[in-house]
Structure 1
């Protein structure tokens, strides 16, 4: 799938939004990709997951034992990537602010994990999720995501395979362009902080 074909999927789902958005990182943007909306259609979610898997080297795909995703955003795409790989898909939650496996999920010592996110901007959630997997005994060998918003700058400590890389400008809250500052900000993501 080309970058334009991926963006066409977002447009078709009404998931490429324009306005003034507060990202999970706290930074601001005039554009937001609402992955939950693009993934609400199971056939579209399966297509995007398969395209993401196909971006990874075959040797890597063969090493993966299990897929793990951080809740909330990564659950659907993680599940679909698990399906495409023929692997179980677990998810992390942070009921007390720190990622952990719950609901009877567990990793075997040394189990090879593919971390899956919907959108990566600064990589903070991904790094925290990778640490949680290590604490649970697993080894994250790579990360996949639908969207890399970092302009290729994110460092996760493992190979990173986004389906599409998008370089929408992002701003600190105290350094907004006038046109963006004139709009009422929205926080469409799942994180409250």
Structure 2
């Protein structure tokens, strides 16, 4: 798939929004990628996630793990494309944990899947969780990397699309200075 084909899928699903947004990272932006608006269409989710999976095919991946809640469908679709199991980590007391009988065996080859990365904190927590259980993180697959190259990991990091959307610290946000109402779409 080309970048333009992926952008068209995102635009057709209404997943690229314009306004004044507070991201989960705490930064503000005038643009927002709302993955749920893409993922509500199973055919579009399958297409984009298969593209992600293809970037890791043949690497012996046994499990795909995603942080809840944003990465759940991404992880499920990537795992389906790879023919492996999909699990997810829940947030508990500010950290990610495995519940619901999920486990990772020592040496198990695991791919981390997420919808979007801005700073990479949630993805890094997932990597740390897998390693803390003795698993081997093969790589990271995300639909949108909006970090502008700032998110760095010590394993291969692939995205379907890199978006260089403007972000601002709250104190420097020009939209705040214009008293524009802020939206927090990440948790809606």
Pairwise TM-score range, normalised by the shorter structure = over 0.9
CA spacing shift, 1:112–1:57, aligned 2, 3 Å? closer
1:85 has 2:71 as partner: no
Per-residue deviation, residues 80-103 of structure 1 (Å, max 9, x unmatched): 000000010000011221101110
Instruction: Give the alignment's Cα RMSD to 1 decimal.
Output: 1.6
Distance 1:80 1:172 in 2: 34
Structure 1 position 152, deviation (Å): 2.0
Q: Secondary structure at the match of 1:171?
A: coil
TM-score (norm 1): 0.92
1:115 has 2:96 as partner: no
1:169 has 2:169 as partner: no
- Give matches, 1:31-42, under 5 Å: 31-42=31-42
TM-score (norm 2): 0.95
Q: Secondary structure at the match of 1:62?
A: coil
Distance 1:181 1:3 in 2: 33
Q: 1:146 aligns with which of 143, 147, 151?
A: 143
What runs of 5+ residues in structure 1 fail to find an aligned partner?
A: none
Per-residue deviation, residues 48-71 of structure 1 (Å, max 9, x unmatched): 1111122x254xx43211100000
What runs of 5+ residues in structure 2 fail to find an aligned partner?
A: none
Structure 1 consecutive aligned stretches of length 4 or more whose deviation exceeds 3 Å: 178-182
Distance 1:69 1:166 in 2: 21
Residue equivalent to 2:23: 23
Distance 1:20 1:51 in 2: 30
CA spacing shift, 1:168–1:180, aligned 2, 3 Å? farther
Distance 1:47 1:94 in 2: 28
- What is the total number of aligned residue pairs between the two structures? 188
CA contact (8 A) 1:20 1:180 kept: no
- Give matches, 1:47-66, under 5 Å: 47-54=47-54, 56=55, 58=57, 61-66=58-63
